[in-house]
Structure 1
């Protein structure tokens, strides 16, 4: 399974929604706390772009010693419609500073020096130190996961449903099978419906971790082939 650091790094580099939580009372609309862009720098710092007049930039500009203690909160929501749609959250805390003259007119680049992070997702919970976050790599499928899950759900729903045969007796009688998460190690499907109305996840591991879309196609073909027999 991916480590807590890898999962946190993946969420930070994903398209999941994120907000910067500022200390103390802040007069701001929720959307003003959402970065326009975010990425991870070469030393593990999180880079955020905001409008130059945003409350976050003002707070960082006027912070004592030019450092502002903040939390970047990321919420991961499944890109397909399923029960219990929130897949996880990550909170990355650290010191925020302005990087002037980089982001272009009307925008400001902010640098979040990571202190520690916490992830709570479908794998479980975990604390992440700054060094582990910097050394980790995001999952190679992170940029394509949402599109891939939506494609599986709309174009290959029958094949996904047949995976219940690999899930054992607990999937017997279920009426819905929706692909809810995907990474280089495998596919997670959420089963629901049936007489009991039970909702549960089943994890289907690939034969080996995939590195790219080509490897994923091969792994999915093998998985569907195993379910067909």
Structure 2
């Protein structure tokens, strides 16, 4: 199971939508408070890029030496169409300052010093210690997860359905009369999570772990081949 800190780092460094919440800017449109880019520095601070005319930039510049609290809120949505599509949310709270001269023309880099974080996702809800967040690494598949899940869904539907055979006792109920439809909902270095939809309208998730953690797409390909082979026998 990925740690809460790793899951939070993965969401921060993913392409999930994010909005920066700043006291006093509640009336600003959320599109004005979405970073153009985001990254994590070696000390665990977040670096967020905004247009120069963004309300966030004005607030950070005006605050100067005063502490300006802010929260980066990230929403993770499954990249394939599926009911209950929101997979998780993460919040990173801290103090916001501007970093002049570090962004391109017409842009400003803002630094969010991480004070605390929290993640709530398919694994559960957990607080994240700032030091753990600093030391964690994002999942190595984070840049490819969207296209990989969409490819699995579009091109490997029949193989996904065979995973029903690996459900043990639950397979007797889920697969005895008719095979449920299967949608891949999450993928990381440790395994694949799919959602089974039964004909009676019910659904449930199942996670299939790889024999060992994968480090890249090549190793993932071998792990998926092994998983489908196991389901076919």
Structure-2-length-normalised TM-score = 0.95
Q: Does 1:225 align with 2:229?
A: yes
Cα 1:3–1:33 shift into 2, 3 Å: same
SS of the aligned residue for 1:2 comes to coil
Which residue number in structure 1 is paired with residue 210 of structure 2? 206
CA distance in 2, matches of 1:54, 1:168: 54
CA distance in 2, matches of 1:82, 1:226: 26
- Alpha-carbon distance, 1:25 to partner: 4.7
Q: CA RMSD in A?
A: 1.1
- Alpha-carbon distance, 1:104 to partner: 2.0
SS of the aligned residue for 1:62 comes to helix
Which residue number in structure 2 is paired with residue 33 of structure 1? 33
SS of the aligned residue for 2:65 comes to helix
CA contact (8 A) 1:174 1:192 kept: no
SS of the aligned residue for 1:120 comes to strand
SS of the aligned residue for 1:143 comes to coil
SS of the aligned residue for 2:19 comes to strand
Which residue number in structure 1 is paired with residue 89 of structure 2? 89
CA distance in 2, matches of 1:210, 1:166: 21
CA distance in 1, matches of 2:76, 2:97: 26
Q: What does residue range 1-229 of structure 1 map to in structure 2 within 5 Å? A: 1-63=1-63, 65-170=65-170, 171-172=174-175, 173-194=178-199, 196-229=200-233
CA contact (8 A) 1:79 1:149 kept: yes
- Alpha-carbon distance, 1:175 to partner: 2.5
Gaps of 5+ in 2: none
CA contact (8 A) 1:33 1:55 kept: yes
Gaps of 5+ in 1: none
CA contact (8 A) 1:140 1:211 kept: yes
Structure-1-length-normalised TM-score = 0.96
